[in-house]
């Protein structure tokens, strides 16, 4: 988790023009403390091609998120292998320029992620108020051949 926290610290606020598109979950980290376990090592799942529930390439990806722009506003739609899937959240930016969005896990409290860009195609996200316990890494999916990116609003 410390490596992900460091990556977040040195990453830059994402540029809105880089955000629109589909992002694939490639890194998922939870610490034992976050999981309310007494000890052990961090629970880390990583796959550069996208995390799946098994190693079968035909298994759907665990989580993709689509960031879109409508009427000058960005939103995130999460497509997951668990319910609820297809939930949407507006994208906001804090005073530091971090991208914020909510993920609905069907729980009683909000799961708000703060994201920074370690490159135009990589997002590092930490769970707000639990930055030392849970983090994610996303890679931007390439555009289909011949497609052009849509402009995003300035924030």
Give the mean model confidence (pLDDT) for residues 48-54.
91
Tell me the percentage of the chain whose pLDDT exceeds 70.
Answer: 92
Q: Which residues contact 14 (CB under 8 A, 6 or more apart)?
A: 97, 99, 115, 116, 117, 123
- Please report which confidence band the pLDDT of residue 145 belongs to, taking 50, 70 and 90 as the band edges: low
pTM as predicted: 0.88
Query: What is the pLDDT, as a whole number, of residue 148?
Result: 55
Query: Please, are residues 100 and 128 in contact by the beta-carbon 8 Å criterion?
Result: yes
Q: Which residue has the higher pLDDT, 41 or 37?
A: 41
Lowest mean pLDDT of 22-26, 52-56, 60-64, 101-105, name the range. Answer: 52-56
The whole-number pLDDT of residue 107 equals 77
Per the CB < 8 A criterion, the answer to whether 44 and 136 are in contact is: no
Per-residue pLDDT tens for 70-79? Answer: 988 999 999 9
Residues whose CB is less than 8 angstroms from the CB of residue 38 and which lie 6 or more positions away in sequence, other chains included:
32
Q: Give the bridge partners for 112, in sequence order.
A: 102
CATH topology of domain 2-140: Lipocalin (2.40.128)
Question: Where do the domains of the chain lie?
Answer: 2-140
């Amino acid at each position: 988790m410390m490596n992900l926290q460091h990556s977040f610290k040195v990453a830059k606020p994402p540029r809105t023009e880089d955000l629109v598109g589909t992002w694939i979950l490639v890194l998922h980290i939870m610490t034992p403390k976050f999981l309310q376990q007494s000890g052990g090592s961090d629970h880390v799942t990583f796959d550069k091609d996208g995390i799946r529930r098994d190693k079968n390439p035909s298994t759907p990806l665990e989580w993709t998120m689509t960031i879109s722009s409508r009427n000058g506003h960005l939103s995130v739609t999460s497509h997951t292998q668990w319910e609820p899937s297809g939930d949407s959240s507006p994208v906001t930016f804090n005073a530091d320029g971090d991208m914020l969005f909510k993920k609905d896990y069907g729980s009683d409290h909000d799961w708000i992620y703060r994201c920074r860009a370690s490159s135009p195609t990589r997002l590092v996200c930490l769970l707000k108020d639990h930055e030392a316990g849970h983090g994610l890494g996303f890679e931007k999916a390439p555009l289909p051949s011949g497609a052009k990116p849509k402009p995003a609003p300035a924030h």
